[in-house]
Amino acid sequence: MALADRFITLGRDTHSGEVLARGGDPEAHSVLQRTSFIPVVRLHQTYHRLPTGLDEAEEKRLATRAVARLRALSYHVETDDAFDTDLREAHYLPLGSQIAHLAEQIREATTTDEVADALTELTATHDGVLTALGEVLAATAEFYQDLGQAPDPYTAKRLHYLTEHRLGVIWSDLAHMRNDLADRHQDHPQRRACTAEVPPGEREASTTCACPPPPPRLSTTSPGPAVPNPTARRR
């Protein structure tokens, strides 16, 4: 993590009068959003602002709370005197991070049963994560339906579409994969559980584990291999 990402400025902009926060990394941005700040993405900059329509007292309350939350996570926050505070608000693991822990379980899994157990948390029919997400989308659609502005019924219809035709496909595919893995009872050929034991013939006295180091994790943005062009081959 770049050191500059630990620095954040939060204050009232002299030109627009808005309360703006600039800088920080994705974790800091999440803290700001959980304190009612709205992300603004421009061509050459990204920052956060408080919602419009707030009175000055509410702006001060939210900005001060954001400063307290960020400093509790050891971010360096430069702020206006009006928003400065010595308070440090406790930080609790958000729901998204708890769900993301399933990814770590899958990365460390050595058997199909372990991955099936993790996917079950997503695909369980009654109380799985995806089922709960569908309920959230449906409840939001109901809220939009009679909210009163002209685009609102269309927004509600869009949410129903996403629930039925997008989320449903994801759930169906993952449920099929989960069931397939649950039937295999297979060890992964490239992974093995770490026993933390040293073989009797090991010569190095400082060795504490016989397992090889894990391979480096590839970036998700790395380009894949080039796909051959059959037309160019014919030419």
Give the range among 1-15, 75-89, 113-127 with minimum mean pLDDT.
1-15
Q: How many residues does the chain have?
A: 235
Q: Is 196 exposed, middle or buried (0-12, 13-18, 19+ CB in 10 A)?
A: exposed
Contact 174, 123 (CB under 8 A): yes
The pTM score is: 0.68
pLDDT, one tens digit per residue, over 194-234 is 666 777 777 676 666 666 665 555 444 444 444 444 444 44
Region of residue 17 (left: phi > 0; alpha: psi -120 to 50; beta: else): left
Q: Is 125 exposed, middle or buried (0-12, 13-18, 19+ CB in 10 A)?
A: exposed
Tell me the C-alpha distance between 37 and 48, whole Å. Answer: 6
* Residue scoring higher pLDDT (190 or 51): 51
Contact 37, 49 (CB under 8 A): yes
Give the range among 71-75, 88-92, 210-214 with minimum mean pLDDT.
210-214
Task: From 122, 164, 124, select the one nearest 141 (Cα to Cα).
Answer: 164
pLDDT, one tens digit per residue, over 139-151 is 999 999 999 999 9
* Residue 99 φ then ψ, to 5°: -70, -40
Name residues whose C-beta falls within 8 Å of residue 233's C-beta, 6 or more positions apart in sequence: none
Q: Are strands 46-49 and 76-79 parallel, antiparallel or unpaired?
A: unpaired
Structure tokens at 121: 């948390």
Q: What's the rounded mean pLDDT across residues 15-21?
A: 96
Stated as kind and residue range, the H or E segment containing 174 is helix 168-184
Task: Provide the 8-state DSSP code for 84.
Answer: -
C-alpha neighbours within 13 Å on the C-beta side of residue 63: 30
* Residue 78 φ then ψ, to 5°: -95, 125
